[in-house]
Chain A
Amino acid sequence: MKSADKPKRAKRRELEPLEPIDAKDGPKMQALPSDRHRAFVRALYTVRPGHGAAVKAAKIAAFGTPQSSPQSMATIASRLMHDDRVLDAIREEDEKHIRASAPRAITALSRLIEDPRHKDHARGIGMVLDRVHPAETQHRLTVEHDATPAYKATADVLERIAQLAAKAGIDVSKMPPLIEAKPVGGS
């Protein structure tokens, strides 16, 4: 019999329960008003990007009802996408995704520098070296602050002049303007 020839499948082994992972949401995700909002933000990274992605994410997150019209869902998705709290949470998740993709980027870079035939081989090496031994540039910034006694004395001198002139009965406002002091030995 044909059915008897068919090898019997072995019993599938049981999957071991996953270890509990204490992944925590960031403060912006936690600040969202409901789990549906958090699910909406997470769904944005799983649905296929493009037109209608936000609506799909809203549906995954159980927004709306089965009877909701496409227009209603589009409105719900649009409101969610323009909610400041959701936008903050998206920004937080963006950072997480970028940081989480760093190991893959490094792996890809490692493969790139091991392939001398790759067109960007030299560029990859340059990127690695730039990060390991960054080119040193020295910036010499000279801040000149004139705090010579003569400069500091100017305000005091003017005040003293005013005091002495008042004592001598001279109206300071009638005095001719002061000549600017010339630097000693200056050109």
Chain B
Amino acid sequence: MNEEVYANGRTYAEHCAWLGSLTGNEYRIVHMPIGHLMSMAYVSYFKYALLNCEMTAAERLRLLDGIAKCVHGPITSEAIEVIDPACATALQILKEINSVGRERACQAFHNGDCFRILARLNPSLLRALELCRLGPVPERPQTAAS
């Protein structure tokens, strides 16, 4: 039974070992709920729209309200504040994610796969992640003994 694939091609033991090896931002990405990762990614998208697209006051207010509502759970207002607007590539990625439907979009953020790419394009997402409330984040890999 232990040889069965548990998650993402890893057995249960491998998966536990992998989780134990996570530190810093990798730990944060994996342990942050997918919804919150998506929220932060979309905040960068909204900020791009607010700074580059002409819109009515109502539309602008709706977007800003959407950003304000992202301050929830582990995401702090400081984290939202440091997020920079998305670049053109990130924008394209988010547009495509948005077009495939909510379920598949969530899948894209599973285990932080998509978020890692977005964070590479927009490092402010990682800074924001550091400002989130995620409890103690291990600085060194956790072994089974520890």
Contact = CB atoms under 8 A, between A and B. Distances in A.
Interface size class of chain A, counting residues whose CB lies under 8 Å from the partner chain: 10 to 19
B57 A170 contact: no
A164 B55 contact: no
Given A161-B61, A181-B57, A168 B47 contact: yes
B81 A169 contact: yes
Interface in B4-52: 43, 47, 50-52
Interface string A168-182: 111000111111110
Interface string B41-83: 0010001001111111110110011011000000001001111
B83 A178 contact: no
Contacts of B65: 164
A182 to B, nearest CB: 9
Contact of A167 (B52, B56, B81, B82): B81
B57 A168 contact: no
A179 B58 CA distance: 10
Interface in B78-92: 80-83
A142 interface: no
Nearest to A157: B57
Contact of B58 (A157, A168, A176, A177): A157
A170 B51 contact: yes
Contacts of A164: 61, 64-65, 67-68
A168 B53 CA distance: 17
Contacts of B51: 170, 174-176
Given A175-B50, A177-B54, A178-B56, A167 B61 contact: no
A182 B64 CA distance: 21
Nearest to B82: A169
A181 B58 CA distance: 9
Contacts of A167: 68, 77, 80-81
B53 A176 contact: yes
A160 interface: yes
A161 B58 CA distance: 9
Nearest to B78: A169
A175 B67 CA distance: 16
A165 interface: yes
18 contacts: A157-B61, A158-B57, A161-B60, A164-B61, A164-B65, A164-B68, A165-B50, A167-B77, A168-B43, A168-B47, A169-B80, A169-B81, A174-B51, A175-B60, A178-B55, A179-B55, A180-B56, A181-B58
Interface of B: 43, 47, 50-58, 60-61, 64-65, 67-68, 77, 80-83
Question: Which 4 A/B pairs are nearest by Cβ-Cβ distance?
Answer: A169-B81, A164-B64, A168-B67, A176-B54
